[in-house]
Amino acid sequence: MAKDNATIGGFDTSGDDTLLLDNATYNQIQNKLIQSASELIFNKSAFDMEDAVCGTEGMVLLADYWHRVVDSSDRLRDFLCEDVDMMCTKVQDSINETDHSIAASFSCSAIGAGKSMLGAFLLGGGVPEQEEEPEDTKGAEDTNTVEKIDDEFGDIQIAYHFDNNQIQYLKVHARYQLEMLRVVQKYSSADAERIVAILNEKLAEMNTVTGISDEGFLLLCDYEVGKAGVYDKDGNLTALKIMDVGDGKYTLGFGITVDKDDEDAINYYMETYGIDVTNVGGEIDIDTSYKIYHEKESYYTGLVNSLCKRNNFSPTQQQYDALFIAVYNRPLLAKEGQALDVFLKQEGGSKEDFEQIVLSEYQGLGSWDKYGDGWTNRTYDESELYFDGDYERTH
């Protein structure tokens, strides 16, 4: 057998007439394979076994080694297949030992049974057939089954401890990553971990609050409607008047303001909604008022979301609602270095901190003497909502 220093990766693929091998490279790989195989004995409990099996160094090396064998010439391929056979035998023996130990020690629920069959998934053999349930136990309640297993991605759900709600969410929002995880978990624990990290980021979005609630909107309306509200005989809000509160702006709908000298905005509302915002006292029907609000809602939502993201803060719904109501009244509160940004950076500020920091910013405004009482009452209600979940206007 000749040695050729020009071989790539230890193996030559120039043809079947020559068998070239870099002995040093081959011996190094073979020794590492044998050493890894000797460590593939999993003395693990049933619920830890999957982590020991999935993506072990020996499995990764085996996959890499097999690619080398497949890419070799025919004569060299036959020579190297003996190592692959040895590795497969050791891995399968180890998995069989673990499965036998689990079967002897545990009465498998749906989740446990899935774990004991993980070896079949790893080696691509599919799920082994299960014995039919005895007639006298059919229909009996299984008190050990605590989680529904998804028909399509049950193996991923079991292996990575996702609950059914999470796996259903991922099927909609991260199906591609689920399918990739099913493939790469057999060969590379590092790649599998990267995909799982992406899936967990998606799941974080599942429970992330990113908008004001209906209850929060009602409290916002309590502040923004005020004297502008027009009601029918049954007390139902039917329209809102265009107001001039003396701040150099026209106020329409649910507290939306237009600068008196902003001709572009004035023309926009006329062209889009048929509203002359300069007609102080004119009424805007409730449906149009809602449309105008929803058009602007994304702007305030974006400010609050950016504020929270910048401070790595995951608000509860009541906290988000309080921040939204505060920012709706004064958007600058959410800017970097301003009151709400300063408060969130404290990480654990109190109700008193919230009120003091926000009111300090308002007190620096030239119109404090005119609007200070209203801003103070609103800030107190916002802090009670933020900390206590109190959606009643009490100030």
Strand partners for 354 = none
- 252 and 332 assigned to the same domain: yes
pLDDT at 171 exceeding the cut of 50:
yes
Residue 225 backbone zone (phi > 0: left; psi -120 to 50: alpha; other: beta): alpha
- 200 and 278 assigned to the same domain: no
Give the range of the structural domain holding residue 28, as residue numbers without chain letter: 23-121
Average pLDDT over the chain, rounded to whole? 77
- 248 and 352 assigned to the same domain: yes
Q: What is the pLDDT of residues 195-232, one digit of tens each?
A: 999 999 888 777 778 899 999 999 999 999 999 999 99
- 92 and 163 assigned to the same domain: no
Q: Give pLDDT, residue 168.
A: 86
How many angstroms separate the Cα of 37 from the Cα of each of 49, 61, 89, 144, 290? 17, 10, 9, 35, 67
* Domain closes at, from 71, 105, 121: 121
- 229 and 193 assigned to the same domain: no
* Domain closes at, from 180, 207, 234: 207
- β-bridge pairing 256-259 and 283-285: unpaired
Secondary structure class of 145 (helix, strand, coil): coil
Helices (H), the chain: 23-38, 49-53, 57-70, 74-105, 110-116, 118-122, 154-159, 164-173, 175-184, 189-206, 214-224, 263-273, 286-310, 317-329, 339-345, 351-363, 368-388
- 364 and 292 assigned to the same domain: yes
- 241 and 365 assigned to the same domain: yes
Q: Give pLDDT, residue 251.
A: 96
Residue 17 backbone zone (phi > 0: left; psi -120 to 50: alpha; other: beta): alpha
Q: Is residue 135 part of a domain?
A: no
CATH number for the domain spanning 366: value is 1.10.530.40
Q: Is residue 105 part of a domain?
A: yes
Cβ atoms of residues 77 and 69 within 8 Å? yes
Q: Is residue 8 part of a domain?
A: no
**pTM of the complete model:** 0.53
- 238 and 160 assigned to the same domain: no
Q: Is residue 126 part of a domain?
A: no
CA 104 to chain centre: 39
- 200 and 116 assigned to the same domain: no
Q: What is the pLDDT of residues 289-320, one digit of tens each?
A: 999 999 999 999 999 999 999 998 989 899 99
Q: What percent of the chain has a predicted confidence (pLDDT) above 70?
A: 63
* Total tally of structural domains belonging to the chain: 3
Number of Cβ within 10 Å of residue 388's Cβ equals: 11
- 237 and 336 assigned to the same domain: yes
Closest to 149 in 3D by CA, of 187, 115, 122, 189: 115
